[in-house]
Structure 1
Amino acid sequence: MHLFKTIFHHNYHTLNNTSTGPLVSLLKSRSVIRFSGSDTIKFLQGLLTNDVKKFSELPSKTASYVPAPNLPPVYVPPMYAAFLNPQGRFLYDLFLYRKPLGEERLDGSVSDASGDLELFADVDSSVLDELLHTFKKYRLRSKVEIDNVAEDFSCWQLFGGNLAEKSDGEEETEAASVGRVPAVDHSAMSSSHGNDVGWQWFKDPRVDCLGLRGVFPSKETPPLVEPGNETNELNYLLWRIENGVAEGSTEIPKGSSFS
């Protein structure tokens, strides 16, 4: 036990070392699913603990995000939510993300050629099949498709160092170092790369100290990921434990009450 504590605190101080900068982990413990269809918002609004209707609204220009290369100018920050049973007890947690939007018009509307609304969610891989079955059980006649897209998308976490202490301006400067600056020509970027680009890092919607989180195409390397800063997911687990944040159905036992 003493040895474990020694290793634990050594790893924590390493992760919190501002001289080494933040680290990034591919979260293999999380899988990505997709909700699509005209009833997506209504369907999820009746099942989850957060206000999913926010995804159908035009996002605020002050939304907290970190730009990535080739990113469309309209962003919707992700949200953290829980799926509870009829008795109000915990079943699953999930992070919801909206597919990157198109260009914003002068009248404030958004040009989005993607058709029906699509929401992506990163969920606990250990209960993936069970979670999909549960969602589909409640679907009934709702016009919503629920797909496992774990082969196509992956979840990543950027954490540690002095990341939580940085201002939005400093984060944007760091993001610019991978190829995007505030003065980028969005229309040129979008036209040359299509409408499906734009997956980016967001501040973790739970607490700032956890850093940044995002869903990215599995065949692409996310921005800010370099050979020297990628680390085992175990280090992200240690970081969460030290900061007192549980995640997934293993750490948050099913049937738990939040009252």
Structure 2
Amino acid sequence: MRRFSSFKPFVAAVGHRSHSSAVKSAGPLASLLKSRSVIRFSGPDTIKFLQGLLTNDVRKFGEPPHERTSTVPTPNMPSVSEPPMYAALLTPQGRFLYDFFLYRHAKEAEKLDPTGSGPGSGSTESTELFADVDASDLDELLQTLKRYRLRSKVEIENVGEDFQCWQRFGGDVGEKSSVVEDPGTASLGWGSGVDLAGISASHGSDGGWQWFKDPRLDCLGLRGIFPTNTVPPLVEADKETNEENYLLWRIENGIAEGSSEIPKGEAIPLEFNLVGLNAISFDKGCYVGQELVARTHHRGVIRKRLVPLKFVNDDGKEVEQRVSAGSQVMDAGSGKKIGSVTTAIGSRGLGLLRLDDAFKGSGSLAVEGQNDVKVEAFRPKWWPHEWVPEHYQQSAVA
């Protein structure tokens, strides 16, 4: 569980606005995600190997790319690219272990050569996928993957020294269109639908690495992996910010990331909303831990879910650094435990709570052992209505 002792938000004077509102008004921000590392899968059995392990359908990476990211190929970018995928590796009992953001890097033969006069060199047959993963569990993750590899013809390498993961968020970035276009690109000297080659070049580095819409939700912005010690395109010097601001952005949207925030070996994927985050395919066939996930999904009853939290005092004012991960959340009236805090930073957090009790109204929840610290639970805007008990629909705060 992730803990933070002190943190100063990017926007110093938020006032009564939420951190989310402040970040939106500040415009697109970018963070180097030091909490993530990068690994590479290569070899003829790569797709088959991952397909039998992960919760999502990896077979799409073995097909020709279909999502158009530019209409004019350039030496650093192909005309079409396959968007990344979010997936998880579970225990055989269906509990969460690790999450993966999988990327299919453009092959040289899919781009123009450096002169721009013809196709690039190399074969289109080679299979190579990259993944950004939780850095805190990297060694353990690599050992786990290699145990599952057996005789599969797939190489698994730590390339964290060569590549880094970045996130671009806030200012409605990622919500504008089906491709990675946003108002910030105007400052680069081109407009939407005008200089398509410029768009391609602006979104991709010289090696063809590019921004993609976050595969979980549009509100999370753009994500990508880029060569180490380089600043990705579209990142302005005064808009690069600490990773904790991205964490707060996720918390206010009710989204955990990595085994530091999704308890490893304990978390039930559907309670941590992985279905709503596009991490699970129910059509792909067998994978490790599938039985529990499928049974829970088709039963259709999820009594607990991860929800965003705000910690306040009796006067409704936010309180800082009073709550830590692992704290129990109580019904202030009955004294019944309804869940626990999984992540906490400043006055915000994430908690796994019983839905029947989470949205009863202001003042009904408190932190165990701290009766002066109240807990407010929020229903994220992206949640389907059927996730919230019907009689609390009106009281749930969007």
TM category (shorter chain) comes to 0.7 to 0.9
Q: CA deviation at 1:220?
A: 2.0
Cα deviation digits, residues 196-252 of structure 1 (max 9, x gap): 721100000001000000000113221011211100000000000000011000111
CA contact (8 A) 1:36 1:144 kept: yes
Q: Matched residue of 1:16: which SS? A: helix
CA contact (8 A) 1:30 1:155 kept: yes
Q: CA deviation at 1:185?
A: 11
Q: CA deviation at 1:136?
A: 0.4
2:168 to 158, 175, 199: 158
TM-score (norm 2): 0.55
CA contact (8 A) 1:68 1:200 kept: no
CA contact (8 A) 2:68 2:179 kept: no
Cα deviation digits, residues 47-95 of structure 1 (max 9, x gap): 001111100101114469xx99932223111000000111121100010
1:11 equivalent in alignment to 2:19? yes
Select the structure that is richer in helix.
Answer: 1
2:122 to 100, 113, 127: 113
1:235 equivalent in alignment to 2:241? no
Larger radius of gyration: 2
Are the structure 2 counterparts of residues 185 and 227 from structure 1 closer, same or farther at C-alpha, using a change threshold of 3 Å? closer
Counterpart residue number, 2:217:
207
Paired with 1:146 and 1:82, the residues of 2 have a C-alpha distance of 17
Counterpart residue number, 1:31:
37
User: Which aligned pairs between 1:1-259 and structure 2 lie closer than 5 A?
Assistant: 11-17=19-25, 20-62=26-68, 70-104=76-110, 113=122, 116-168=126-178, 171=181, 174-175=184-185, 178=188, 181-183=195-197, 197-255=207-265, 256-258=267-269, 259=296
Deviates more, 1:112-121 or 1:134-143: 112-121
Are the structure 2 counterparts of residues 49 and 248 from structure 1 closer, same or farther at C-alpha, using a change threshold of 3 Å? same
Are the structure 2 counterparts of residues 116 and 196 from structure 1 closer, same or farther at C-alpha, using a change threshold of 3 Å? farther
Are the structure 2 counterparts of residues 104 and 30 from structure 1 closer, same or farther at C-alpha, using a change threshold of 3 Å? closer
Using CA pairs below 8 Å that are at least 6 residues apart, which structure has the higher relative contact order?
1
| Count of residues in correspondence between the two structures | 241
5+ residue gaps, structure 2, are 1-5, 8-13, 112-118, 270-295, 297-398
Paired with 2:187 and 2:121, the residues of 1 have a C-alpha distance of 28
CA RMSD between the two structures: 3.2
* Percent of pairs with identical residues: 63
5+ residue gaps, structure 1, are 190-194
Are the structure 2 counterparts of residues 16 and 215 from structure 1 closer, same or farther at C-alpha, using a change threshold of 3 Å? same
Paired with 2:75 and 2:163, the residues of 1 have a C-alpha distance of 17
Q: Give the letter aligned to residue 58 of structure 2.
A: V
Deviates more, 1:147-156 or 1:248-257: 248-257
Are the structure 2 counterparts of residues 7 and 88 from structure 1 closer, same or farther at C-alpha, using a change threshold of 3 Å? farther
Paired with 2:199 and 2:23, the residues of 1 have a C-alpha distance of 36
Are the structure 2 counterparts of residues 111 and 183 from structure 1 closer, same or farther at C-alpha, using a change threshold of 3 Å? closer
